Structure 1
C-alpha cells in the first residue's frame, strides 16, 4: 500500500480521520465530562500534526499523479467531517489514477 502515492494518501487519511474521531468522541467528553483537559491537549496536538502531514500528502499526490482541483478540494473538505476520510477512501478505491 505504501508503494503508490494514493496508497500513502490513504494511510495518512485514515490516521488523520481516526485522530479526529478520537478527539471528538473520546478527548472532548473526557475534558467536559470528566474534567480532564489534558486529553484534548495531547490528542489535539497529535491531530494537528497529522492534519499538517495530511495536507502535505495531498500536495504530494497532486503533483505526483496530477489530481484535478476537484479531488484536492474534496480531500481537504472531508478532513473536517467526522467519518469523511473513510467515505473518501471508499471512493478512492473505486477510481483508477493510472
Structure 2
C-alpha cells in the first residue's frame, strides 16, 4: 500500500505542475490547444488527487502519523511540490 501511495503522491505532484504549465505557458500562446488539453490533464489530476487523499487515510495507521502529521500530509496535496516533500519526509518503509 505504501508503494502505491508513493507512486500516487509523485504522480499527483507531476499532474499538478503539468496543469499549471498548461495554464501559464500554453494558454497565452495557443488558447485552442489549452482548451484541448485542459480536460484530460484536469481529469487525470482530479483522479490522482482523490486517490492521494483516500490512500493517505489508508496509510495513516501503518505509518503511525499523528493528527498533526496527517493534516500536513493532507494540506501538502494543495501546494505545488508539496506531495514530493511528503513522499520524501513522511513515507517510510517502502
Relative to the length of structure 1, the TM-score reads: 0.77
Deviates more, 1:80-89 or 1:51-60: 80-89
- Equivalent-residue separation in structure 1 for 2:13 and 2:83 (angstroms): 6
Q: In the superposition, relative to structure 1, how do residues 63 and 90 fare at CA in structure 2: closer, same or farther (>3 Å)?
A: closer
- 1:13-92 to 2 correspondence within 5 Å? 13-25=9-21, 27-28=22-23, 29-35=25-31, 36=33, 37-92=35-90
Structure 2: gaps spanning 5 or more residues: none
Q: Which runs of 4+ in 1 moved over 4 A?
A: none
RMSD over aligned CA atoms reads: 1.9
Aligned residues: 90
- Deviation, 1:22, is 0.7
